[in-house]
Structure 1
Amino acid sequence: MTLVEHLTELRRRLMISLAAMCVGTVIGFIWYQSAPFGMAPLGEIIRGPYCNLPADLRADFTGDGECRLLATTPFEMFMLRLKVGALAGLVLSSPVWLSQIWAFITPGLHRSEKRYTFVFVTLAVTLFVAGAVLAYVVLDKGLYVLMSIGNEFQVAALTGREYYGFLLALVTIFGVSFELPLVIVMLNLAGVLRYEHVKDKRRVIIVGLFIFAAFMTPGQDPFSMVALAASMTLLVELAFQFCRVHDKRAASSRPEWLGLDDDQASGPIAAPAPVTASPAPAPEPRPEEYFNDVL
């Protein structure tokens, strides 16, 4: 394909992906308040950790005991609903835009590269979703720890902007952090990182992961920090074990002489053998000389 044909193909893929995202955003916008088939509305799912708090830790603005977040600007509720709907549309349309990305890049890849690319994309999406789910579970417990500190003197009155910002930040940090083991595996397959480089540095790596979790968790509560650091430590250890097995297999299938220096690979050089001169054979008589002897 020419450059213009590639750009035309890219534009077509982008248009299909954007159309799928728009449809997903509309579905997410509707799902925010009402859900079919007996499902819970998306807004109710998102505010679940906040509504699971005891009633004495939440401010009651309506007097009817309903769990509601506070809005301080006229367009805050609409913009939050639109933002949540867009995020839900991005997730709902992910099979479409991922397949479009896959269809655009696979014609330029070899068969083995296609297989590895598909595996890595699938693992990346799976790890991000696993991190997002863990963040949602952690928020249910971590929010209680944060909101119960000093409840004798104050009551929490969270706005939708603050709560959604905290939730989305926690989900993003957990999801992106769960991609770390995949990066380690990719570096190992590329030959940049080997198991022998990290096998004696586990203590330093674990301490670094806990420091990272302490700084990156939005609320800096101990529950979220320990959950993120412990899960990352487990995933990194699994990645290290993959590196160990892969390096062992690569070493067993590699010839021994590839790991030697030039002098060692060539082996000991034997001493030169002496050259002995052999006597030259007598020249054969020419035909005219033979006939002269006969005559």
Structure 2
Amino acid sequence: MALSLRPKSKGPSKFEQAADGSMTLIEHVRELRNRLFWASLGIVGGLIVGFFLANWTFHMLSGPYCALESSWVLNAKGVAECKFLTLGATDGLILKLKIALWIGLIVGAPIWLFQLWAFIAPGLHRHERKWAYVFVLIAAPLFIGGAVLAYFVVQHGLAFIMEAGVLQDSQQLEVTSYIGFVTTMILLFGVGFEFPLVLLMLNFTGVVSAKRLLSWWRAVIFLCFAFSAVATPDPGPFGMIMLAGCMTLLYFIAVGVSFLNDKRTGRGKEIYSGLDDDAISPLAEERVPVGASDPVEAPTAVEAPAPVDKPQSLERRYDDMT
């Protein structure tokens, strides 16, 4: 028996099976179950890490509130402290678990995002996967930039809200409401900074050209300010103006990148790009002189028909029924 040093050829991987459509429905469901299991393990691991980082994160989020003089009160020893109000006995523990969950989603993001991508990627083409990598690499810095800006907006916006109210001397905020206000602002600014990616996706996929995107500038600016006014929990003008202004700036940056992409791909230089849809296409008139027609061949004689046999008498014709 001959021995071979070459490794045995393995069958197609799960990625190849899902990409070529050879994976059955049960195998898809089983793969989804495994992906969800590993994604859950990543989130649980991040939750454990977040439980130890929850106190540090809480002190960081409470920075804008503790920066106000009205948030400091004297304790029993006569020392000024930054104090929050708690209305329930379990508010402190529940708030710590919420912060730990937020941290767990961020820390475990590489794991659960990879599992999500591994389940979706086989259904995409090669060039679609390439652009997906690019968009993911751009989306993460944009979200972080929006979150950092939201932190400073909360610091200035909270000062305006506290000073413009009727209680200026000593104001203690309820801790759950305050943390919810800060996290909502961070999430809202992070999602708002992803707006140019939608425009770039439409342009890179060939749905909308850069000129068409630029023609929407009035509607886009109006929608940016309307979205900021409605979605921002900050009732002051500072947060709304900052979010709308940043979204407008990112819109024009996306339009500029779209113009570069159209120039690279040659969009707008097609043969029929400058024609109106209702315009009649001009046809070149060709005058061909009419000459004498070709001679017609003489008709051929038709052969005489073959003689027909004399029909038999009725009594000699039989079939299966008679």
TM-score interval for Structure 1 and Structure 2 normalised by the shorter chain: 0.7 to 0.9
User: Which amino acid in structure 1 is aligned with residue 30 of structure 2?
Assistant: T
C-alpha deviations, 1:217-272, integer Å up to 9, x for none?
A: 212212212211111111011111122222334445854157667963x8424234
Instruction: Decide which structure has the larger Cα Rg and report it.
Output: 2
Q: Secondary structure at the match of 2:171?
A: coil
| Aligned-residue offset at 1:148 | 1.5
Matched, 1:239 2:254: yes
- Equivalent-residue separation in structure 2 for 1:272 and 1:247 (angstroms): 43
- Equivalent-residue separation in structure 2 for 1:166 and 1:124 (angstroms): 23
Determine which of 21, 41, 47 is the counterpart of 1:19: 41
- Equivalent-residue separation in structure 1 for 2:296 and 2:142 (angstroms): 82
TM-score normalised per structure 2: 0.76
Q: More displaced, 9-18 or 121-130?
A: 121-130
Matched, 1:30 2:52: yes
Q: Taking every aligned residue pair, what percent have the same amino acid on both sides?
A: 36
CA RMSD of aligned residues (A): 2.6
Q: Secondary structure at the match of 2:164?
A: coil
- Equivalent-residue separation in structure 2 for 1:162 and 1:26 (angstroms): 24
Aligned to 1:147: 162
| Aligned-residue offset at 1:6 | 1.2
Aligned to 2:185: 170
Higher helix residue share: 1
| Aligned-residue offset at 1:154 | 5.2
- Equivalent-residue separation in structure 2 for 1:198 and 1:135 (angstroms): 27
| Aligned-residue offset at 1:206 | 2.4
Q: More displaced, 190-199 or 95-104?
A: 190-199
Structure 1 residues 81-230: aligned runs within 5 Å: 81-150=96-165, 155-230=170-245
C-alpha deviations, 1:76-95, integer Å up to 9, x for none?
A: 11111000100010001111
Unaligned runs of 5+ in 2: 1-22, 298-322
User: Which amino acid in structure 2 is aligned with residue 270 of structure 1?
Assistant: E
| Aligned-residue offset at 1:65 | 1.7
8 Å CA contact retained: 2:262, 2:268: no
Residues 1:198 and 1:116: Cα distance change in structure 2 (over 3 Å) = closer
8 Å CA contact retained: 2:71, 2:83: no
TM-score normalised per structure 1: 0.82
Residues 1:197 and 1:44: Cα distance change in structure 2 (over 3 Å) = same
User: Which amino acid in structure 2 is aligned with residue 268 of structure 1?
Assistant: A
- Equivalent-residue separation in structure 2 for 1:204 and 1:273 (angstroms): 59
Q: Which contiguous aligned blocks of 4+ residues in structure 1 show a shift greater than 6 angstroms?
A: none
Structure 1 residues 47-86: aligned runs within 5 Å: 47-54=62-69, 57-58=70-71, 60=73, 62-63=75-76, 64-86=79-101
8 Å CA contact retained: 2:72, 2:81: no
